[in-house]
Structure 1
């Protein structure tokens, strides 16, 4: 039999506000349960209202007694209409166990954002987005994140149910292997920004794997929002033809970043803003876990999506995200403006679909990487080195080379060292493009050559004239006076003296 209590009101007192690590946190009065041994499930319910300007996180402590087998949480909140141009209410949710809520700590047990209204955790299973494991005695925390608060305030209700009983055994997760058969040194196609039911996607991993194969991809990366819960859900879906990398989309209030190709099971914290000066720490943690730091859709216009942490820690940048839009064009042009300093450190570009649900196309776009093998290490090294281009489909192939008078050559991500006035022949070939597409050679001075996509393009230059060369393949313009949407683009070849 389920015991339930009447909801009690929790008011957002500023006296309870403190800073935990980096993010401002409001901690509510604890929710107490009697010993769970014997009897049936017990539910406690609380209500509260958060004012406009509420902190990023609100913690509801839950005192979990010994003998608890399962913890369940459900929540709801009011969504009153807001004036035009004023955001309404949006409340995310997650869970930390008795090990605490410290930034980057071990207590993380799951996050679903606003994707679902209820979840559970127990030893042998958990709702997607959450990590299975024993429900140990101690103070747990339901974490609420008021993403936006309407002028009327955000009224919420949270119900926590504890189910007594012996703990179920936690199975060891089966993670994807780090290598597939592949074709030796070759160009491999991948999509490194994908969401499933483990965050706010609507597709299962099996559906994503099938779509990836249909799109002609060789590798994919699972990147759920703020959780690694999907890392162990790909058993039986990889194969000689498909490498599955693990990662996360770290979704902060000041932009999103892909932790690309991290060790399976790695979780990267997201609870900080640019002003907190914490991002460098977590960028280093991503690299220690074997991954790349890739700011995602840096000029996206959705609230909290635009990248504000700078690019000093970036290993690559996602210039093209999903179907090509004006914010992708802004990202492309902003990235291009950084390449003139490429004699030193530069940031390679990539593109991914960010597919969530139908009709999102997996593999639109895709990053095509020259790698020594179809392995995690080789693919990540190819991306880090910029030996890659981005295409709208597996049917599009692009080749760009630069050759000096002595026959020495370089290709994407490479550097050709020549005398300042020594001639360099640049050759561009494209196949699989639509008949109305055009190709363009771009340098630090802008577009220097254009032509139809069906014919090879050749241009002779010098390192004194062009510090880099890259290529674009574009559809016809859809807005007069603006460039047409991309069908493909390459990373640069640098010319230095």
Structure 2
């Protein structure tokens, strides 16, 4: 049911239509028409209110058409929805919201003007400004659509009320976006620390970009990646945060109903659509779109337990995977174990392997920016060099700037390989694996191979520094990776991770 309550003269009749797209199911409900036009005085306003109820099992997306006349300066939307009590263990109502302009709602987002999910109860767009998460630009005449995303629907249904207000008058001038530079002052080929999963008030975070830049520097980070949920509106607001000491990459957290994926380091202004499920067979199209924009495809928190967070698309299109997300929880341990299983499969099947990264997913205080952080061996502090280092797996994950690792494998004739590389020696050739650790007091070291954990050593001294050596052959270990863990608190279970490396592969 959808009703149009006319708060001004000239409203047209409500309209209702149903369609199911080739992707996620969608519903178009009755919308509103405004009178306006040339006779509207400068600054005059017209308001319409739309009410409706969505049943359990509603489509993923519901579109409310808004017929916008000419000479509109600003479009403003506010909404509320019912939150009836539900039985324990039953999801209640949660309704996301966004906006598409007269260019339409087609998959790919030509008409995309913004998304706030459930983070805001109102928003506006006009030529010279917009609510964070939305794109400034002219409010042109035509059929616009308010996009509703019923994330979860209670058994009683989801009742909503949307109020649309148009302000008439001459449009302002749309600002020309200024983006961060793609290079910072680096140290040549070196290890650079970064956090590639962060949220500001341009989606559901509570910090402005400047309030992220300061803790990023304090955490010893050399680079960050913007990753707002389903919007690229933040891209033009990070230039002042970047500097010679901090590289800012631009991206998006593509938040689908079947998992989240980081578009890491895309071209400025790149939007990646999220309106599909795994069963729609559309993800490959958008993974390729990310790569065409010179970004990396990185599934985020793949085993997270929140609704819609677990990764269902497979890893065939991924460039890396986020194995550690924020303070370590059981789902991170599951992700680490699942990633190790993928490493074994890559060895068994002779195919490419998938590097692991870690990020904070920080949204607000007390979330810690840079817990954890990915430490990348890159040729310089540039967008391209950092991405190449991640793609090659020349990286490890650490809980803070205090933790440093050096991990190498050498052969009997001086052959040498580091993290993400292959030591090409004969199957029976002797190999010495060496791990040097700093900043990890009382922690335990584990060396993990395709057979499992083959060495446990420690605890490290109070200084946090130590060196572990282990000898093996490629016939015995197809790869070796290192974990550094805190003291255990549960008997034989390992302690929480302090750091872990990507593997070194052994053998030709």
Report the Cα offset of residue 450 of structure 1. 1.6
Alignment of 1:414-429 (within 5 A): 414-429=421-436
Q: Which residue of 2 aligns with 1:260?
A: 264
Hey, what does 2:444 align to over in structure 1? 438
Q: For residues 41 and 196 of structure 1, what CA distance do their matches in structure 2 show? A: 32
Partner residue of 1:287? Answer: 291
Aligned equivalent of 2:185: 181
Distance in 2 (CA, whole Å) between partners of 1:468 and 1:367 is 20
1:477 aligns with: 488
Shift of 1:234: 1.4
| 1:313 aligned onto 2:324 | no
Structure 2: gaps of 5 or more residues: 1-5
Contact 1:193 1:223 in 2 (8 A): yes
SS at match of 1:384: helix
Residues in 2 aligned to 1:80 and 1:473: alpha-carbon distance in whole angstroms? 47
Give, in angstroms, the shift of residue 35 of structure 1.
2.8
Deviations 1:430-464 (A, max 9, x none): 00112x21111110111111212343111111110
How far, CA to CA, are the matches of 2:66 and 2:307 in structure 1?
Answer: 31
**Aligned counterparts of 1:86 and 1:326: Cα–Cα separation in 2:** 23
Supply the distance in 2 between the matched residues of 1:444 and 1:23 (Cα, whole angstroms).
39
The number of residue pairs the alignment matches comes to 490
Residues 206-233 of structure 1 deviation map (CA, whole Å, 9 limit, x = unaligned): 0000010010000000100000011111
Give the Cα separation in 2 of the matches to 1:486 and 1:314.
Answer: 24
1:31 maps to what in 2? Answer: 32
1:237 aligns with 2:241: yes
C-alpha separation between the residues in 2 aligned to 1:33 and 1:180?
Answer: 50
Partner of 2:410: 403
User: 1:229 aligns to what SS in structure 2?
Assistant: coil
- Output the CA distance in 2 between the equivalents of 1:299 and 1:478: 23
Corresponding residue of 1:17: 18
Q: Give the Cα separation in 1 of the matches to 2:440 and 2:109.
A: 49
Is 1:90 the counterpart of 2:94 in the alignment? yes
CA displacement 1:6-62 (0-9 Å, x = unmatched): 9x9x9998xx33223411111012310113432311000010011100000110000
Q: TM-score, length-normalised on structure 2?
A: 0.94
The answer to whether the Cα contact below 8 Å between 2:432 and 2:472 also exists between their aligned partners in 1 is yes
Which stretch of structure 1 is more off in the superposition, 302-311 or 233-242? 233-242
What stretches of structure 1 of length at least 5 have no aligned partner? Answer: none
Residue 456 of structure 1: SS of its match in structure 2?
strand
Take 1:45 and 1:114, find their aligned partners in 2: how far apart are those partners? 19
**Partners of 1:20 and 1:103 within 8 A in 2:** no
Q: Distance in 2 between matches of 1:462 and 1:203?
A: 50
- How far apart are the structure 2 equivalents of 1:29 and 1:471? 58
1:220-231 aligned within 5 A: 220-231=224-235
Structural RMSD (CA): 1.5
Q: Distance in 2 between matches of 1:45 and 1:480?
A: 60
Question: TM-score normalised to the size of structure 1?
Answer: 0.97
